[in-house]
Amino acid sequence: MSIRSYFDSFTERDWDRLDETEPVRFALVGLGWWVLEQAMPAIAESDYCETSVLVSRSAEKAADAAADHDGVEGISAEAYHAGDHADQYDAVYVCTPNATHLDYVESAAEQEKAVLCEKPMEASSDRAERLIAACDEADVFLYIAYRMHTEPAVRRAKELVDEGFIGDPVQIHGGMSGPLLELVPDENQWRLNADLAGGCSMIDIGIYPLNTARFVLDADPTAVYGVTHTLHPAFEEVDERVSFTAEFPNDVDAVCTATHNAYASSHLRILGTEGELILDPIFYPWQDREVTLRGHGVGGDISFEQANQMTEEFDYVATCIRTETEPVATGRHGLVDMRAIEAIYESAETGERVTL
Tell me the torsion sign for CA atoms 256, 260, 261, 266. positive
Region for 188 from its dihedrals, namely left if φ exceeds 0, alpha if ψ lies in -120 to 50, beta otherwise = alpha
State the pLDDT at residue 5. 64
Q: Find the radius of gyration of the CA atoms of the chain.
A: 20
Angle at 159 between CA 158 and CA 163, to 5 degrees: 120
Q: Decide if 197 contacts 204 (C-beta within 8 A).
A: yes
Please check whether residue 160 is in contact with residue 242, taking contact to mean a CB–CB distance below 8 angstroms: no
Give pLDDT, residue 207. 98
Number of Cβ atoms within 10 Å of the Cβ of 11: 13
What is the model's pLDDT at position 303?
Answer: 83
| Pure H helices in the chain | 3-8, 33-34, 40-45, 59-66, 77-82, 101-110, 125-138, 152-162, 180-183, 194-197, 201, 207-217, 309-323, 331-350
pLDDT at 3: 64
- Length of the chain counted residue by residue: 356
pLDDT per residue as tens, the chain (356 positions): 456 666 667 788 999 989 878 999 999 999 999 999 999 999 999 999 999 999 999 999 999 999 999 999 999 999 999 999 999 999 999 999 999 999 999 999 999 999 999 999 999 999 999 999 999 999 999 999 999 999 999 999 999 999 999 999 999 999 999 999 999 999 999 999 999 999 999 999 999 999 999 999 999 999 999 999 999 999 999 999 999 999 999 999 999 999 999 999 999 999 999 999 999 999 999 999 999 999 988 888 888 899 999 999 999 999 999 999 999 999 999 999 999 999 999 999 999 999 99
* pLDDT value of position 210: 99
Residue among 345, 4, 35, 78 at smallest CA distance from 207: 345
| Rounded Cα–Cα distance for residues 260 and 30 (Å) | 22
For residues 178 and 259, give the distance between their C-alpha atoms in angstroms, rounded to a whole number: 7
pLDDT digits (tens, 9 = 90+) for 145-164: 999 999 999 999 999 999 99
Beta strands in 123-274 (DSSP E): 142-145, 169-179, 223-229, 241-248, 252-259, 261-272
Q: 229 - beta bridge partners?
A: 241
Q: Which domains occur in the chain, in start order?
A: 3-146 (3.40.50.720), 152-305+329-355 (3.30.360.10)
> Which among 33, 91, 23, 107 has a CA at the least distance from the CA of 65?
33
CA neighbor of 341 nearest in space, from 208, 169, 186, 163: 208
